[in-house]
Structure 1
Amino acid sequence: MSRSDVADRIAQRALASREAQYTTEVRALLDAAREVMRRCGTTSRPRVADIVAVAGLSNEAFYRHFRSKDALVAAIMEDGAGQLCGYLTHQMAKEPAPQDKVRRWVEGVLSQAMDEETAATTLAVMWNAGSVTEGFLAGPPSATGMLARLLHESYAELGSADPELDASLAAHATVGRLADHLWRRERPTAADVDHITRFCLRTVLTEGAYE
Structure 2
Amino acid sequence: MKKNAILSPVDPESGLVGRIARKAVAEREAEYAGEIRRLLDAALDQVRRCGPAGRPRVADIVAAAGLSNDAFYRHFRSKDALMAALLTDGTERLGDYVAHRMAKEPDPAGRIRCWVAAILAQADAAIAADTRAVLCQTGALGVDLVSGRAGSAPRRLAELLYAPLVEFGVRDPEYTAGLLAYSVVGKLSEYLWSEVEPTAEEVTRLGDYCLVVAAAAEAGGAPPG
Q: Name the TM tier (shorter chain).
A: 0.7 to 0.9
Q: Is 1:58 aligned to 2:58, yes or no? A: no
Indicate the percent of aligned positions where both proteins have the same amino acid.
48
CA distance in 1, matches of 2:184, 2:55: 26
How far the C-alpha of 1:143 sits from its partner, in A, is 1.8
Of 26, 33, 36, 1:26 maps to 36
Do the aligned residues in 2 keep the contact of 1:73 with 1:132 (CA within 8 Å)?
no
Corresponding residue SS for 2:119: helix
**How many equivalent residue pairs?**
202
Do the aligned residues in 2 keep the contact of 1:81 with 1:147 (CA within 8 Å)?
no
How far the C-alpha of 1:146 sits from its partner, in A, is 0.3
What one-letter code is carried by the residue in structure 2 that aligns with 1:148?
A
Of 175, 179, 190, 1:165 maps to 175
Describe how 1:113-124 pairs up with structure 2 within 5 A. 113-116=123-126, 118-124=127-133
Corresponding residue SS for 2:154: helix
Describe how 1:179-198 pairs up with structure 2 within 5 A. 179-198=189-208
How far the C-alpha of 1:131 sits from its partner, in A, is 3.8
Do the aligned residues in 2 keep the contact of 1:152 with 1:163 (CA within 8 Å)?
yes
Per-residue deviation, residues 30-86 of structure 1 (Å, max 9, x unmatched):
111111222222213333222212212122111101122232223222222222222
CA distance in 1, matches of 2:169, 2:83: 38
CA distance in 1, matches of 2:88, 2:61: 18
Q: Is 1:176 aligned to 2:183, yes or no? A: no
Give 2:77's aligned residue: 67
- Which of the pair has more CA radius of gyration? 2
TM-score using structure 1 length: 0.82
Q: Is 1:155 aligned to 2:200, yes or no? A: no
TM-score using structure 2 length: 0.77
Q: Is 1:127 aligned to 2:174, yes or no? A: no
Q: Give ranges in structure 1 of 5+ residues lacking alignment.
A: 207-211
Q: Give ranges in structure 2 of 5+ residues lacking alignment.
A: 1-5, 217-225
Of 81, 101, 117, 2:111 maps to 101
How far the C-alpha of 1:155 sits from its partner, in A, is 2.1
How far the C-alpha of 1:148 sits from its partner, in A, is 0.9
After superposition, the CA RMSD in angstroms is 2.7
Seen in structure 2, the aligned counterparts of structure 1 residues 57 and 107 have a Cα distance that, compared at 3 Å, is same
